[in-house]
Amino acid sequence: MLNKRITVLHITPSYKPAYCYGGPTRSIAMLCEAANVPSAKIEALVFTTTANGNRELDFKSGVKQNVDGVDVYYYSRLSKDHTHFSPALLFALHRFLQSVRRNKQELIIHIHSWWNLVAILSAALAVCHRMPMVISPRGMITPYTLSFRHKAAKYLVHSIVGRLLLQTAHLHATTALEAKNLLQYLPTGNISIIPNLLTFDTVENRCQSFSNPINGLTKRIPEIVISKPNEQQLRLIFLSRIDPKKGLEVLFEALAITNFPWTLTIAGMGKAAYLRYLKQLSGSLKISSNISWIGQVEDVDKFELLNRHDLLTLTSSNENFGNVVLEALLAGTSVLLSDQVGLAHYIQEADLGWICKAEPKEIASTLSLINLDQDKRSRIKCMAPQQIRKDFNTADIMENYLSLYKKVLSRMN
């Protein structure tokens, strides 16, 4: 057992390059890619759908694809919404698990997300086939998500079958805050806390060009962002999927009552109607001239863009982890988080940023303190990259995953 690789089948409603779903897509892919390096003791493969927002990825259903070293099977879906109903995936999973049992192979099923038919029905199949199972809800079992959209349906599903399926599995949380939320709904749940992985290669490759104002940046980033900054302005950046839970409305209201000069770059994509609403809100608050909307930014440019700003803001009402927080610190950029971001406790303990409630007056007050505290921002710029590399080392995180999988296999046996 100690000398052979553990096979893990990852099941997720979406996989790269469906980046429109934000951080979870990247996090799941990084986990699978890290598992499949030659020296690893885990072998990962993926069952997913062709989901890409309202469109589909251009992959033939059920045909194995090698995506950055990982064998991925994309299956067509019938529903184009967040239910991701895919009979093709479920039938293939049933056949695959039959083969595993027939050949007496060891396999762990690792399901990512919840509240969709891929996750829930795959979990039901795993129980039927008596397969060891890990479920990573990815922030989908919290007071916020249970009360946001289809509240009655979620509570009904949770009461009838959801709680039973989740109690059968070993749960994986990415932060202590996510684990705390899970325990509210599953008091007897088995939970392990393992953080998301980070991709250090990209930032290492970009670090050399940080001192050159324009080197390497794509034409997608407007010149207003890459031109020489006004040192009197606090340069803020929001870099994430643009969604109501991300707290841009309260940030706008806070910025409208500040009394120091600032600029805000908003990088990311969202639904057209919500983007129109936010732009109208910024206009009504008379702050639109300070805001640059630059759309989606490629991964290759992300760290350099972060490095050109003084502060990343993430004042979310719900965030189980927040990969962009660590990416900002890797780039030497300080962070301001709400206390509902999973990494808030770590940031507070390590003194790598500022934490506040997602309320306009408190955000505005904290921003004023940050604007004056140049010494702390300078210290974070110098020490944060090395601290993040140490605390979120890929090898250590993968050892934690290996221990988790071994524990789950042992318990099943």
Range ranked top by mean pLDDT from 217-226, 227-236, 265-274? 265-274
Residue 111, domain CATH: 3.40.50.2000
Residue 255 contacts by C-beta under 8 Å, 6 or more apart in sequence?
A: 262, 264, 285, 287, 290, 364, 367
Q: What is the mean pLDDT of the chain?
A: 89
Q: Are residues 92 and 72 in the same domain?
A: yes
Task: Express as a percent the part of the chain with pLDDT over 90.
Answer: 74
Average pLDDT over residues 9-18: 96
- For residue 371, tell me if it sits in a domain: yes
Q: Which residue has the higher pLDDT, 405 or 209?
A: 405
Average pLDDT over residues 47-56: 93
**Which residue range is the domain that position 86 belongs to?**
6-197+393-412
pLDDT at 15 over 50: yes
pLDDT at 217 over 70: no
pLDDT at 223 over 60: no
- For residue 326, tell me if it sits in a domain: yes
Q: Are residues 128 and 224 in the same domain?
A: no
How confident is the model at residue 227, as a pLDDT? 47
Q: Are residues 243 and 177 in the same domain?
A: no
Helix H or strand E segment including 74: strand 70-75
Q: Are residues 188 and 208 in the same domain?
A: no
- For residue 1, tell me if it sits in a domain: no
Look at the alpha carbons of 161, 14, 182, 32 in this order and tell me if their dihedral is positive or negative: positive
Q: Using one digit for the tens of pLDDT, what is the confidence trace for 331-366?
A: 999 999 999 999 999 999 999 999 999 999 999 999
Q: Are residues 150 and 31 in the same domain?
A: yes
Q: Are residues 371 and 401 in the same domain?
A: no
Tell me phi and psi for residue 114, to 5 degrees: -160, 175
Cis peptide before 17 (omega within 30 of 0): yes
End-to-end CA distance of the chain: 12
- For residue 385, tell me if it sits in a domain: yes
Average pLDDT over residues 176-203: 85
How confident is the model at residue 204, as a pLDDT? 55
- For residue 287, tell me if it sits in a domain: yes
- For residue 82, tell me if it sits in a domain: yes
Q: Using one digit for the tens of pLDDT, what is the confidence trace for 282-321?
A: 999 999 999 999 998 888 889 999 999 999 999 999 999 9
Q: Using one digit for the tens of pLDDT, what is the confidence trace for 128-155?
A: 999 999 999 998 888 777 766 666 777 7
Q: How far is CA 240 from CA 98, 203, 328, in A?
A: 40, 17, 12
Q: Are residues 287 and 408 in the same domain?
A: no
How confident is the model at residue 232, as a pLDDT? 81
Cα separation, 218 vs 138, in Å, equals 31
Q: Which two tokens stand for residue 124?
A: 């039901």
Q: Are residues 207 and 170 in the same domain?
A: no
Q: Which two tokens stand for residue 112?
A: 């990512």
Q: Are residues 141 and 279 in the same domain?
A: no
Q: Are residues 22 and 128 in the same domain?
A: yes
| pTM, rounded to two decimals | 0.87
pLDDT at 229 over 80: no
How confident is the model at residue 187, as a pLDDT? 80
Question: How many domains does the chain divide into?
Answer: 2
Q: Are residues 402 and 318 in the same domain?
A: no
Q: Are residues 131 and 171 in the same domain?
A: yes
**SS3 label, residue 408:** helix
